[in-house]
Structure formats: structure tokens, C-alpha cells
RNA sequence: GGCCCGAUAGCUCAGUCGGUAGAGCAGUGGAUUGAAAAUUCACGUGUCGGCGGUUCAAAUCCGUCUCGGGCCA
């Protein structure tokens, strides 16, 4: 009888909190291999902009799922799960510990809790729904699935659109499809091992400012310039828009840095809100 | 030295005929299972530059001082 495969170890927390460095430490400690759980470090061509691990870091331990997608490739949490699961299994089969590292809360939760039994996104339907006024989306959702409408933040176009999309694609009520899934996943609570990095807000802001400065000095501008003609999925990365403004001469370098700083701070706050609520790991102060 | 303009939230500014003030940004908290570095919701007491005066009542009118900026010497 073969021994049980090593359980994955999760390292998460807000941006610029030091996840990559901690992952390396744990890779040594647990004889592990690192797997990315960051939505934008998946992409090639924005390694600096997305603060992906450096070549020096990557050389120290096997790293997986960094720079594996072309900039124009769309992605979502479900696709990420499909990419990550086989890699986790292969690492475990070698007797190594998967060290899953990243700050994309939704991606992590898809990995740990699995997808709800819902139809996946449909690009052409989204184009169609995007053309309708929010009021109409709300009206259609309310008609098809009043229960789901009552549970949805109706001011949030994305959420309304997604709920309606589920109803239209499945021909069933989104509320019915979602039911049961949450209860099923509740058992995972507190069972997984890992760390949520927490730092005082002030310290985190200092780290963000430092990282933004280094990023702008060490190639992020060139990365965005190189993608100038590409209509890419990764345009949503923080810093992309700001650097494009810089390249067009609309703002100066210091303004660009300030805008990126502010956007990164806001992102870090959203991540903290997410991880504060997620109780499947026990938070550990660093 | 003289004249003019400005000083209001952390920042940029609005504030009508005098009735003790509100936007954007920043910040904080929340939502968030298939776009998530996305999307979205909520939260505004501050010596209205200081001191005096007029007035029932002053961010608002008057005087004066301080600090910016400008013009003329």
C-alpha cells in the first residue's frame, strides 16, 4: 500500500505581501513545487507588470503555470482549475508537495471548492447581453428566476448578466442550480492547510509603493509598449491602462506611478476583504 | 513698498440674496463560483487661514494680520 500523497499547501494574501518569497521557503521546507494562483501571472509578456517570480527565483524550485498563456487568450476561474488540477496530481504522484501560491481569491476557491454545476461563460451571449440596458437585464432575470434576482446585487451589471446567462444557457433556474453547492462545500471549512499572509495596512502600502517603483524602472513600460497593438485579455492588469496613458504622453512618469499605486492599494484591500471571509485556511500572522 | 487674486475635508475645488458646508479623488468597510489585477455597494464634523468688528445670525459683509501667487515700482 502506497503512502497518501502529500496534501497541497496554500499560500495566499494580498498583492505585494511577499507570497513568492514565502513560497520558496515552503518549497524547501516541504519538498514542494510551486503552482501559480494568480490570474495575471498566467500570462506571457507581462512578467514584470504582474510581479511574477524572477528567473532567479524560478531557478530555485520548480514553478508551474507562470507565463503559460498568450496575452490575447481569454481565461476564467474554471479554466484555471482545469489547468491546475492535473499539475497538482502529477506533483503529488512524484511524492512532492504542491505549493499553491497566489492572490486571485476566486481562482483559489474554484480550485479548492470546485465549480458549481453551472454552464460556463458564453462569449457571444455576453456580447448580446452587454448591448442591453441594465434595467432590461434585471427585468428578464426577475421574470425567469425571481429567487435568483432577489439574491443578486441588481446594481452590479456583471452579476445580473451572469445570472441571466445561466438561466438562458441551461434553460433552468440559476437559483436551483446553485442550491446545494454551498452546503456541499461548507465541509471544506478549516480543513485545508496553508497561510494567509496578513500585514499592517501601512506596511503593505510601503511595499506596494516600492514594488511599483521597481516595476516601472525594470521593464513594465517596455512590456506594455510591446503589446501596444494587441487587443489582449491582460489589458485589465493593473498598470496596463496607466502605462498606456504614459506612452501616449497624457501623463508623466510620477503621475503614472501614483495611479498604479492607488489602484494596487485598492486591489489589495479587496483581496483582504475576500481572504478575511474565507475560513478554509487558518490565518497566520507573519 | 503699492495694487490685485487666492486660502473651505488628506488632495483638487464648489458654495447663489448672510441662515454654521458638499462634490470628485484618496481613504475605510462590505458583496463577489465561471471577465476577479474584474465588477459593484455603503460611509463626509471640517479651528471654512488667525484675530477683531457689523448683525438676531458670518465660509459669505467690513477691518487687520499671516502665508501663497501675480502685476507695478
Per-position DSSP letters for A174-217, written without gaps between them: HHHHHTTHHHHHGGGTTTS-EEEEE--HHHHHHHHHHHHHHHHH
Window from A8-22, A170-184, A241-255 with minimum mean pLDDT: A170-184
The three-state secondary structure class of A194 is strand
Q: What is the mean pLDDT of chain A?
A: 92
Distance in Å from B33's C1' to A152's CA comes to: 13
* Beta strand segments in chain A, E: 9-12, 32-36, 63-64, 97-101, 194-198, 284-285
Answer for A262: CB within 7 Å of strand B: yes
Range A52-58, long-range pairs (CB < 8 A, 24+ positions): A53/A20, A57/A20, A57/A21, A57/A24
Question: If pLDDT is split at 50, 70 and 90, which confidence band does A234 have?
Answer: confident
The pLDDT, as a whole number, for residue A228 is 79
Answer for A130: CB within 7 Å of strand B: yes
**Whether residue A21 is found in the same domain as residue A102:** yes
**Whether residue A179 is found in the same domain as residue A196:** no
Q: Could you tell me the three cell numbers for A43?
A: 500570462
- Residue of A101, A96, A8, A106 lying closest to A52 (CA atoms): A101
Answer for A162: CB within 7 Å of strand B: yes
**Whether residue A152 is found in the same domain as residue A74:** no
Residue A36 falls within a domain, yes or no? yes
**Whether residue A25 is found in the same domain as residue A108:** yes
Residue A128 falls within a domain, yes or no? yes
On whether the CB atoms of residues A36 and A218 are closer than 8 A, the answer is no
Pairing of strands A97-101, A284-285: unpaired
Task: Look at residue A231 and tell me whether its pLDDT is greater than 90.
Answer: no
**Whether residue A111 is found in the same domain as residue A52:** yes
Answer for A209: CB within 7 Å of strand B: no
**Whether residue A207 is found in the same domain as residue A105:** yes
pLDDT in tens, A175-226: 999 987 877 777 776 678 999 999 999 999 999 999 999 999 999 999 999 9
* Maximum Cα–Cα distance across chain A: 66
**Whether residue A76 is found in the same domain as residue A207:** yes
**Whether residue A179 is found in the same domain as residue A230:** no
- Chain A 216-255, CB < 7 Å to strand B: 233, 236-239
- Number of Cβ within a 10 Å radius of residue A15: 22
On whether the CB atoms of residues A54 and A23 are closer than 8 A, the answer is no
Answer for A203: CB within 7 Å of strand B: no
**Whether residue A207 is found in the same domain as residue A100:** yes
Share in percent of chain A as helix, strand, coil (round to 5): 55, 10, 35
The domain that contains A135 carries what CATH number? 1.10.20
The boundaries of the domain holding residue A209 are: 9-115+192-285
The pLDDT, as a whole number, for residue A91 is 97
**Whether residue A95 is found in the same domain as residue A236:** yes
Task: Look at residue A150 and tell me whether its pLDDT is greater than 50.
Answer: yes
Answer for A204: CB within 7 Å of strand B: no
Question: If pLDDT is split at 50, 70 and 90, which confidence band does A282 have?
Answer: low
pTM for the whole thing?
0.92
> Residue A5 — φ and ψ, nearest 5°?
-65, 150
Answer for A96: CB within 7 Å of strand B: no
Q: Which nucleotides of B are covered by protein (CB under 7 A)?
A: 25-41
The domain that contains A261 carries what CATH number? 3.40.50.300
> What's the CA gap between A263 and A247, in Å, rounded?
18
> Residue A48 — φ and ψ, nearest 5°?
-70, -45
Residue after which a domain boundary falls, among A185, A212, A231: A185
Residue A73 falls within a domain, yes or no? yes
Residue A1 falls within a domain, yes or no? no
- Overall domain count for chain A: 2
Q: What's the half-sphere exposure (Cβ side, CA atoms, 13 Å) at A86?
A: 5
**Whether residue A172 is found in the same domain as residue A141:** yes
On whether the CB atoms of residues A111 and A134 are closer than 8 A, the answer is no
> Residue A177 — φ and ψ, nearest 5°?
-65, -35
**Whether residue A100 is found in the same domain as residue A225:** yes
Task: Look at residue A285 and tell me whether its pLDDT is greater than 50.
Answer: no
Amino acid at each position: 500500500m502506497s503512502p497518501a500523497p502529500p496534501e497541497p499547501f496554500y499560500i495566499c494574501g494580498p498583492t505585494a505581501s511577499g507570497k513568492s518569497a514565502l513560497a520558496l521557503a515552503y518549497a524547501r521546507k516541504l519538498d514542494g513545487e510551486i503552482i501559480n494562483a494568480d490570474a495575471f501571472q498566467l500570462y506571457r509578456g507581462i512578467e514584470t507588470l504582474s510581479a511574477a517570480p524572477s528567473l532567479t527565483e524560478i531557478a530555485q524550485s520548480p514553478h508551474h503555470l507562470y507565463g503559460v498563456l498568450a496575452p490575447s487568450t481569454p481565461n476564467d476561474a474554471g479554466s484555471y482549475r482545469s489547468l491546475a488540477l492535473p499539475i497538482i496530481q502529477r506533483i503529488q504522484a512524484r511524492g512532492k508537495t504542491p505549493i499553491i501560491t497566489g492572490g486571485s481569491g476566486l481562482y483559489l476557491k474554484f480550485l479548492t471548492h470546485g465549480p458549481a454545476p453551472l454552464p460556463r461563460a458564453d462569449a457571444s451571449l455576453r456580447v448580446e447581453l452587454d448591448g442591453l440596458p441594465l434595467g432590461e437585464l434585471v427585468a428578464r432575470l426577475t421574470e425567469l428566476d425571481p429567487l435568483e434576482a432577489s439574491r443578486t446585487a441588481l446594481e452590479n451589471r456583471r452579476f445580473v448578466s451572469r445570472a441571466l446567462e445561466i438561466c438562458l444557457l441551461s434553460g433552468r433556474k440559476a437559483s436551483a442550480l446553485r442550491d446545494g453547492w454551498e452546503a456541499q462545500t461548507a465541509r471544506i471549512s478549516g480543513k485545508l492547510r496553508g497561510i494567509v499572509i496578513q500585514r499592517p495596512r501601512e506596511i503593505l502600502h510601503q511595499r506596494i509603493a516600492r514594488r511599483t517603483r521597481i516595476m516601472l524602472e525594470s521593464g513594465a513600460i517596455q512590456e506594455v509598449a510591446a503589446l501596444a497593438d494587441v487587443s489582449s485579455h491582460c489589458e485589465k492588469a493593473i498598470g496596463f491602462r496607466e502605462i498606456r496613458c504614459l506612452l501616449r504622453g497624457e501623463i508623466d512618469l510620477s503621475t503614472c506611478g501614483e495611479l498604479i499605486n492607488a489602484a494596487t492599494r485598492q486591489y489589495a484591500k479587496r483581496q483582504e476583504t475576500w481572504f478575511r471571509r474565507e475560513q478554509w485556511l487558518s490565518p497566520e500572522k507573519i
